[in-house]
A = this chain, B = another copy of it.
Amino acid sequence: MIEILPLTDIGEVLPGSDLAAVLIAALNEARIEPTAGDVLVVTQKIVSKAENRFADLSAVVPGERAVALAKQTGKDPRLVELVLSESSEVLRSVPNVLITRQRAGHVMANAGIDRSNIGSATGEQALLLPEDSDASAERLWVSLGKRCAVVISDSFGRPWRHGVVNVAIGVAGMPSLIDRRGDLDRDGRRLEVTQIALGDMIATAAGLAMGEGAEGVPAALIRGVRWSGPNSPASALVRPLEEDLFR
């Protein structure tokens, strides 16, 4: 059996908050003792807040390219400037849609920059992804005494399918990707499916206990998932540009 335990008792996380301490307090409050095989899933939003990844839109001066893309997409040119500064490549820009490859390689809308639920009613603030989400996950993992793995999740849209799901942008203490290449199936045939996106699966499952928006729960512990194989960061989930079929 697998259990997904939401951590509801987490107050507002602020720049400079000791996120590991906040999470340990919430685990204690929920009477959950993390152990080997558990995964603590934390939303990008509270990691970014603790790391003070806020950007003040009123201080951003959009360049020429940002102004052009803002016209194309109908987005705030200052936000587009931030998106460009966080991205290595623009994949699509059409009305209401700006999809880029974020610095860490993740392909996502607006380079993951958020303007919802960041504690700013004026809309003059934006929240960027952590500087390096794998490193943030690693630091949390170490701060938690490596008692359980850590996944940092964010919600992604997908091509060809409606709706968002949570995926992993930071992973520590577990394999983000399970490699089954060479394994045989029950009939002795080579497996057609050879790599399993375990980090993304865990982020998505935790999303079921988190919700979106007003009732949002920023962390959950998943217990009972079994895996084998060496640890790998979320960057292992990123398909390199040269393998990319859908640029």
Contacts and interface: CB of A to CB of B under 8 A. Distances in A.
A116 interface: yes
Interface in A21-65: none
A241 B54 CA distance: 37
A214 B238 contact: no
A130 interface: no
B205 A208 contact: yes
Interface residues of A, number: 73
Contacts of A205: 2, 4, 201, 204-205, 208
A224 B1 CA distance: 13
A163 B212 contact: no
Interface string A84-114: 0000000010100101010000110000001
Contacts of A162: 177, 195, 197, 236-239
A198 interface: yes
Nearest to A121: B187
A236 B209 CA distance: 22
A231 interface: no
Contact of A163 (B1, B4, B197): B197
A183 B92 CA distance: 26
A245 B157 CA distance: 12
Contacts of A107: 159-161
Interface string A178-221: 10100111111111110111101110110111001110100000
A119 interface: yes
B155 A158 contact: no
A198 B207 CA distance: 9
Contacts of A6: 1
B114 A192 contact: yes
A165 B213 contact: no
Given A115-B189, A163-B196, A164-B193, 7 more contacts: A4-B205, A115-B192, A117-B185, A119-B186, A160-B244, A161-B167, A180-B213
